[in-house]
Chain A
Amino acid sequence: VIDCTRFDALQRDALDGPLPAPLQVEVDAHLVDCPDCLARMRNLVVQTEVLRRLGEAQREDEVAAPPLPESLVRRVLTALAEEQGGGSKARPRDGTLG
């Protein structure tokens, strides 16, 4: 029977994917005996799903992003003009950057 430390180490190993069957049996046996580890593991599963959904929500928010502040637009364009004027690889024609 594994203890909480071993259970914790196996949870870390499981970051790489499912545990080998014999180890999974040990983990399951520990969870039957240890309500604390069971509660922690269940909350971690929920947490991982919550963070995944936050990522999805963020990606959806990108579509509805507000226009850039004018000050930022000016700042980036100025940096681009300076870069081009400083003799970068790109060779702008007349009326172009720089």
Chain B
Amino acid sequence: VEPRTPVPSRADPSRVDPASEQALVLRLQAGEAAAFEELLRQEGPRMLAVAERYLRDRHDAEDALQDAFLNVARSIGSFQGHSRLRTWLHRIVANCALMRVRSRARRLPLAPAGADPEREPAGHATGPTRPWEHAAADIASREELRGCVWAALARLEDGDRTLLTLHDIQGMTLDELAQTLNIGRTTVKSHLHRARHALRVELDERLGEAHP
């Protein structure tokens, strides 16, 4: 699985010029300890954030970062320079984080897809649904509302949260999800559908309360 690599921001102050990068790669390939430390200090903060995006857990993200740098040490010899070092590193970090997501998914199986808490056996929708599109309209700019969404996500079962994080937040495709979680595509769809409704129910309460 190779998750989409984000396009670096134009305002990114941490751009590395190609000549410096090439020199760093040569030092890494020579196994120079100082070069690994330089790479770690230079790219580590961003890569830790990448891992944390997938894992939503600082401790796991730090472990994934360590895994990734061990992988870098093992495979830097085969780095051909066809992509930027940061792009290559991003892919390794994402894969290490996803390995942990997969392992976590095995430990915490997804809830049965049919178990929609909001529906009666006959399939009729129950309970009122309050529209909260206005409350959510400025979610990207308001920390309070962002916190509301994260809090709602935190209340979901781990399997549901993982699916929503990987698909709706990180932008993984259904096929990538199926491969990552080692489950069938149809199963992914059912669980994702259920997870979206579970989050909607949580947000229904939170956004309704925050913005009656």
Contact = CB atoms under 8 A, between A and B. Distances in A.
Contacts, number: 179
A44 B30 CA distance: 52
B143 to A, nearest CB: 10
Contacts of A16: 174, 189
A42 B70 contact: no
A73 interface: yes
Main secondary structure of the interface of A (DSSP, over half): helix
A72 B62 contact: yes
A55 B33 CA distance: 34
A48 B182 CA distance: 24
Interface residues of A, number: 58
Contact of B41 (A5, A39, A67): A67
B189 A12 contact: yes
Closest 5 CB pairs of A and B: A5-B123, A92-B31, A65-B45, A51-B168, A12-B193
Interface of B: 6, 8-9, 11-14, 30-33, 36-37, 40-41, 44-46, 48-50, 53, 62, 65-66, 69-70, 73-74, 76-77, 119, 122-125, 128-133, 136, 139-140, 146, 149, 164, 168-171, 174, 189-190, 192-193, 196-197, 199-200, 203-204
